[in-house]
With several copies, the nearest count.
Chain A
Amino acid sequence: MELLTINNVWMMICTALVFFMHLGFSFLEIGLTRQKNTINILFKNFFVITAGLIIYCLIGFNLMYPGEWIIDGVLGKIVPGLDAAAAADLSYNEGYTYWTDFLFQGMFAATAATIISGAVAERIKINSFILIAILYVTIVYPIVGSWHWGTGFFYDLGFYDFAGSTLVHSVGGWGALVVIYFLGARKGKFDENGNPLAITGSNIPLSAAGVLILWLGWFGFNGGSVLSADPSLTSLTLVTTCLAAAAGGIGAAVLSRVLYNNLDLTMFMNGVLGGLVGITAGADQMLPTSAIFIGLIAGGIVVLSVALLDKCKLDDPVGAIPVHLFCGIWGTLAVGIFGEMAGFDQFMIQLACVGITGVFCIILGTIITLFVRAVAGLRVDEKEEVQGLDIAEHGTRAYGDFRVN
């Protein structure tokens, strides 16, 4: 009883911290985009958090942790709603109550959609985004999640993803990649000759705050993924998480200094996030030194993949894909390279599951995107884009009293 109480307290705190990450994402996104689209982005985030939670309550939770399988280990049976009876039984789990379990997982669910929200900012039709987000959170996220955390076939394969480098971040990242591919770049992101131009963020301080808030949230994201308050596991996890974040930032800052001879704060920030995503798959498996390595490499990946996306004419205003997709993949593979599970077989398993996830997300993501494009269209018309979505879709400005460019 005492132990359950302690564990549950820890899990509830972690839940609160993961919830708080949504403020981090919101700040990060509105800071790295133009002020004329700020309200639109915030509206999207508020929608994702609120609707995401309700949907996860109605469907997602059971789809992700299936009592029974329709296709064994691949697709769970849908049992809508929460189960108050199960909740009453405190022997549900010694680490947390049923309610805590739901809420903690529910906070995770919205994250995947939020990752997409950042990448498609400043040009997507809000209704289309809402549709995409709902479908993605209702279908793709819980199904992939069930493969591992729902003890599906990833689990049987021996795949390891501690807190979701693949199951949460890559899943969101793949979705983002697919949608921006069909959506196209923002007007003014590439010149006639296809060279990338700079569309500078409107409020870097909020972005910086967002990154620190996300780092704080990761105390809960990874710390809570221990699923109990086990002293050594939780504290080790926090240490590796923080060291990887720190190393990620340093890695990105140094590399962009070297490549572009510039002390680039936004790269520093994305590097921290890259480090966090990178350690997420193996946070409980690593020693401090390995965590630092994983972070450093993640930081480098961020800087290089930002440039890569520019080369590919893909427009990701907030760097969601470098951070969540590429570092998510890196982190998942790193479990096979560093730490207690390191080994060739493990590496191949990690690689295989990364691949399967990618294929699945790309296929379903494409279907969803094309479906939405067919029924509602994806992109606002050029006039609205130039004017800004705040006035066009929400009838008001984000910084009413301020003179803006």
Chain B
Amino acid sequence: MKKIEAIIRKSRFSDVKKALHSVEVNFFSYWDVTGVGNEKVGHVYRGVTYSTADIQRRFLSIVVSEPFVEKTINAILESAYTGEVGDGKIFVLPVEEAYRIRTKETGKTSLN
């Protein structure tokens, strides 16, 4: 099993979600994070103009079994893409075990 961490634009989230569903990945958790990276945005407040690299992004945590890894990644790569700096990243981490609390079942059947 792998854990796929995707950091995407909040504005792309609904499309990404659709894309994931279309590859039967209907199980994940997400939350908002602040990202620091190449992208910068400008702001103005009371006459002070400033630009910041701290941008609100959405962080998706998706644990999938091997067969799903690739299509999940591709789905995100497609749907989160705009081509402008700041589209975000995807990271893949190993997962050793998984449990479904409701049924106590373990392994990949517990994922969905």
Contact = CB atoms under 8 A, between A and B. Distances in A.
Nearest to B58: A405
Interface string A365-405: 00000000000000000010011000100011000000111
A298 B42 CA distance: 29
Given A383-B11, A386-B11, A403-B32, A306 B46 contact: yes
A267 B47 CA distance: 8
Contacts of A266: 45-46
B32 A198 contact: no
B45 A396 contact: yes
B45 A395 contact: yes
B32 to A, nearest CB: 6
Interface in A39-89: none
A197 interface: yes
B45 A319 contact: no
A259 B45 contact: no
Interface string A234-266: 000000000000000000000010011110101
Nearest to B11: A386
Contacts of B50: 197-198
Interface in B32-54: 32, 41-50
A266 B49 CA distance: 14
B47 A307 contact: yes
B47 A306 contact: yes
A372 to B, nearest CB: 26
Nearest to B52: A198
Contacts, number: 49
A319 B48 CA distance: 13
Given A197-B50, A198-B50, A387-B11, A264 B44 contact: yes
Nearest to A396: B45
A260 B44 contact: yes
Contact of B32 (A200, A260, A262, A405): A405
Task: Tell me what chain B mostly uses at the interface: helix, strand, loop, or mixed.
Answer: strand
A21 interface: no
Nearest to B12: A386
Contacts of B45: 198, 200, 264, 266, 395-396
Contacts of A260: 44, 47, 49
A156 B103 CA distance: 73
A322 to B, nearest CB: 10
Contacts of A197: 48, 50
Interface string B42-84: 1111111110000000000000000000000000000000000
A395 B46 CA distance: 10
A310 interface: yes
A358 interface: no
A339 interface: no
Contacts of B44: 260-262, 264, 395-396
A288 interface: no
A259 B47 CA distance: 8
A269 to B, nearest CB: 10
Contacts of B14: 188
Contacts of B11: 383, 386-387
Nearest to B42: A395
Given A383-B11, A405-B32, A198 B48 contact: yes
A303 interface: yes
A91 B49 CA distance: 55
Contacts of A184: none
Nearest to A267: B46
Contacts of A188: 14
B21 to A, nearest CB: 14
Interface in B5-49: 11, 14, 32, 41-49
Interface in A162-205: 188, 196-198, 200
A207 to B, nearest CB: 11
Given A267-B47, A395-B45, 13 more contacts: A197-B50, A198-B46, A198-B48, A200-B43, A259-B47, A262-B44, A264-B44, A306-B47, A307-B47, A310-B48, A395-B43, A396-B44, A405-B32
15 contacts: A198-B46, A198-B50, A260-B44, A260-B49, A261-B44, A262-B49, A264-B44, A264-B47, A303-B47, A306-B47, A319-B46, A383-B11, A391-B41, A403-B32, A405-B32
Interface of B: 11, 14, 32, 41-50
